[in-house]
Amino acid sequence: MATTAVGVSATPMTEKLTAADDDQQQQKLKKGIAEFYDESSGMWENIWGEHMHHGYYNSDDVVELSDHRSAQIRMIEQALTFASVSDDPEKKPKTIVDVGCGIGGSSRYLARKYGAECHGITLSPVQAERANALAAAQGLADKVSFQVADALNQPFSDGKFDLVWSMESGEHMPDKLKFVSELTRVAAPGATIIIVTWCHRDLNPGEKSLRPEEEKILNKICSSFYLPAWCSTADYVKLLESLSLQDIKSADWSGNVAPFWPAVIKTALSWKGITSLLRSGWKSIRGAMVMPLMIEGFKKDVIKFSIITCKKPE
Ligand code: SAH
């Protein structure tokens, strides 16, 4: 069985460890994720700003950093459009949860756009503190709040939110069923759930797993980015179906994010990038070193950038 440096299997999610092993590995993974983001978020913000997710591009002739920033906003807007989230004052979201919120870029954007109340959760204490500070500085302290909490055990009552938002956090979740079950639990009847996440390609008919050379690429990425086993978009769709969610839709946006990693690598290799990386520490440097593998994974079609959306029945 292939094992990553965080001790989590990169074999299909159906393969189970004993409950005690599983728990120990999940704790280790959570600690790694928290430390990774505690260490690297300041550097990311310094170079890339408040959004810690891919940009969405309509063509790949983008060169300026400002274009990448607007592409990150476009990603949020495209996700809302794909999920048909209404702008109508009667129907627009009023309560939003941002699961895996980073330093809160999406939360503040959504709170402003909809005039909604937004709660963000992250494993990283540094991120939660920074997210709250940015909210206060932007005059949003009464609308948005951030705390350290686990997406797999959310500190919210059932049915609280009418938009459940997970932007590039699902790939960190070691138990995808528990993840989507929690997203569903906190969703209000009729709420929209949006998951934008990294997946591996769907398996072909008759295939039981990815090819060894494909798993090798993913395993290297897992250990540096603190990711557990990957799953496919089709796996997510099956999980959502098993929870009787409605209007389940998915799309492959890999082509739309293609300019992102080359741009991140370019900035990492700039003077500012190199000095920030050296200052922030070993975990960030290891993360930077696998960035070319993300490009390889997309080129070889093993990594997919996916959006999966659905509605909780009324
Ligand atoms: N959605 C943000 C940040 C993406 S980075 C943005 O678009 O800017 C991934 C985020 O997922 C980090 O904030 C990390 O702390 C969070 N995360 C990963 N696993 C988590 C878990 N189990 N519970 C809560 N947050 C988690």
Token pair in block for residue 309: 């959306």
**Percentages of the chain per state (helix, strand, coil), in multiples of 5:** 45, 20, 35
3-state secondary structure 12-38: CCCCCCCHHHHHHHHHHHHHHHHHHHH
Q: What pLDDT, on a 0 to 100 scale, did the predictor assign at position 8?
A: 36
- How many other β-carbons are positioned within 10 Å of the β-carbon of residue 107? 31
Q: What is the CA 286 to chain-centroid distance, rounded?
A: 19
The CA 244 to ligand 1 mean position distance, Å, reads 26
Q: Contact at 8 Å (CB) between 277 and 288?
A: yes
- Structural domain includes residue 47: no
Instruction: Give a yes or no: residue 130 inside a domain.
Output: yes
Distance 190 CA to ligand 1 centre (A): 25
Q: Is the CB of 102 under 6 A from ligand 1?
A: yes
Taking the centre of ligand 1 as the mean of its atom positions, its distance from the CA of residue 90, in whole angstroms, is 30
Which residues, 6 or more positions from 141, have their beta carbon under 8 angstroms from its beta carbon?
Answer: 132, 135
In a domain, 308, yes or no: yes
DSSP 139: T
Probe ligand 1: pick from 25, 33, 106, 198, max atoms within 8 Å of CB? 33
Give per-10-residue mean pLDDT for the chain (314 aa).
Answer: 35 60 91 95 92 88 72 96 96 98 98 98 98 98 98 98 98 97 98 98 96 96 94 98 98 94 86 83 84 94 98 97
Say how many Å lie between the CA of residue 122 and the centre of ligand 1: 5
209: tokens are 């797993």
CB 81 within 8 A of CB 146: no
138 is a domain residue:
yes
**Which pLDDT belongs to residue 1?**
31
Q: Give a yes or no: residue 37 inside a domain.
A: no
First to last CA, the chain: 42
Would you state the pLDDT for residue 61? Answer: 59
pLDDT for the residue numbered 151? 98
Specify whether the CB–CB gap between 227 and 168 falls below 8 A.
no
Task: Decide if 253 is inside a domain.
Answer: yes
**CB of 106 sitting under 6 A from ligand 1:** yes
CB of 110 closer than 6 angstroms to any ligand 1 atom: no
Residue 120 domain flag = yes
The answer to whether residue 134 sits within a structural domain is: yes
Q: What is the pLDDT of residue 17?
A: 62
What is the domain extent for residue 170?
67-211+228-259+304-312
Torsion, Cα of 170, 175, 178, 183 (10° steps): 0
**Is the CB of residue 167 below 6 angstroms from any atom belonging to ligand 1?**
yes
Q: How many domains does the chain have?
A: 1
CATH for 90:
3.40.50.150
Q: In angstroms, rounded to a whole number, what is the distance separating the alpha carbons of residues 145 and 135?
A: 8
51 lines ligand 1 (CB under 6 A): yes
| Strand pairing report for 303-311 and 246-252 | antiparallel
Does residue 52's CB lie within 6 angstroms of at least one atom of ligand 1? yes
pTM score: 0.92
Is the CB–ligand 1 distance for residue 101 below 6 Å? Answer: yes
Q: Most distant CA pair in the chain: distance in Å?
A: 55
Q: How far is the CA of 52 from the centre of ligand 1 (A)?
A: 9
Looking from the CA of residue 51, the nearest atom of ligand 1 is 8
Nearest-atom index, ligand 1, CA of 105: 8
Give the atom of ligand 1 at the shortest distance from the alpha carbon of 152.
Answer: 22
Query: Strands 95-99, 117-122: parallel, antiparallel or unpaired by DSSP?
Result: parallel
Q: Are 238 and 177 in contact (CB under 8 A)?
A: no
